[in-house]
Structure 1
Amino acid sequence: MASRKLTVEVCNAKNLMPKDGQGTASAYVIVDFDGQRRRTKTIFRDLNPQWEEKLEFLVHDVESMASEMLELIVYNDKKNVKRSTFLGKVKISGSTFVKSDSEVPLIYYPLEKRSVFSQIKGEIGLKVWYVDEEPRPAPPAMEEAEAKSDAPPPAEGREERR
Structure 2
Amino acid sequence: MQKYFCWCLLTMLVLSVPSQAQKIDGAPAKPVPVAIAANNGLRNEDAKFKGAGITLAGTFTLPSTTTLGAAPKKLPAVLLLGAQGATPRDGMVVAPEVVQPIYKLLAEHLAAQGFVTFRFDKRCAGASGCSPSLALDDYVEDARAAFELLRARPEVNPAKVFVFGHDEG
Q: TM-score, normalised by structure 1?
A: 0.27
Structure 1 or 2: larger strand share? 1
Structure 1 or 2: larger helix share? 2
Bigger radius of gyration: 1
